[in-house]
Amino acid sequence: MAFVYREFDQTALDFQYNNQAQVADPKRYLDWYAPASTRARASFDRITNLAYGPLPDERLDIFAPPDARPDDRRPVVLFVHGGAWRQLDLYGSGFAAETFTARGALYVPLGFSSMPAAGTLDEMIAQVRTAVAWTWHNIGAHGGDRDRIYVVGHSSGAHLAAMTVVTDWPRMFGLPASVIAAAALVSGMYDLEPVRLSYRNEMLKLDRAAELRNSPCRNLPSQGPDLLIAYGSLETTEFKRQGQSFAELWQRCYGNCRELEISNQNHYELIETLTDPTSTLTTAVIDRFEI
Q: Provide the mean pLDDT of the chain.
A: 97
Cβ partners under 8 Å of residue 252, min gap 6? none
**What value does the mean pLDDT take over residues 261-271?**
97
The yes-or-no verdict on residue 1 having pLDDT over 80 is: no
CA distance 260 to 82: 19
Handedness of CA 137, 119, 163, 289 (dihedral sign): positive
Q: Give the predicted TM-score (pTM) of the model.
A: 0.97
pLDDT above 90 covers a percentage of the chain that reads 96
**What value does the mean pLDDT take over residues 216-245?**
97
Pick the CATH number of 32-67+84-174+219-224+237-289 from 3.40.50.880, 1.10.10.10, 3.30.450.20, 3.40.50.1820: 3.40.50.1820
Confidence of residue 44 (pLDDT cuts 50, 70, 90): confident
- Of the given ranges (44-48, 80-84, 91-95), which has the lowest mean pLDDT? 44-48
**Ranges of each domain in the chain:** 32-67+84-174+219-224+237-289
Cβ partners under 8 Å of residue 66, min gap 6? 45
Inter-residue contact 291 to 228 (CB < 8 Å): no
What pLDDT shows up at residue 263? 98
Confidence of residue 39 (pLDDT cuts 50, 70, 90): very high
Order of strands across the sheet that contains 46-51: 46-51, 59-63, 106-109, 74-80, 144-154, 182-186, 226-232, 257-262
What pLDDT shows up at residue 19? 96
**What value does the mean pLDDT take over residues 51-74?**
95
Q: How crowded is the C-beta side of 37, counted as CA atoms within 13 Å?
A: 21
The yes-or-no verdict on residue 46 having pLDDT over 90 is: no
Summarize pLDDT for 195-211 with one digit per residue, the tens: 999 999 999 999 999 99
The yes-or-no verdict on residue 278 having pLDDT over 80 is: yes
Inter-residue contact 94 to 167 (CB < 8 Å): no
CA distance 162 to 217: 9
CA distance 233 to 241: 11
The yes-or-no verdict on residue 152 having pLDDT over 90 is: yes
**What value does the mean pLDDT take over residues 211-215?**
98
The yes-or-no verdict on residue 43 having pLDDT over 90 is: no
Q: How crowded is the C-beta side of 113, counted as CA atoms within 13 Å?
A: 18
H-helix segments, the chain: 10-16, 26-30, 33-42, 97-101, 121-138, 156-165, 169-173, 193-197, 201-204, 208-213, 237-254, 269-272, 280-289
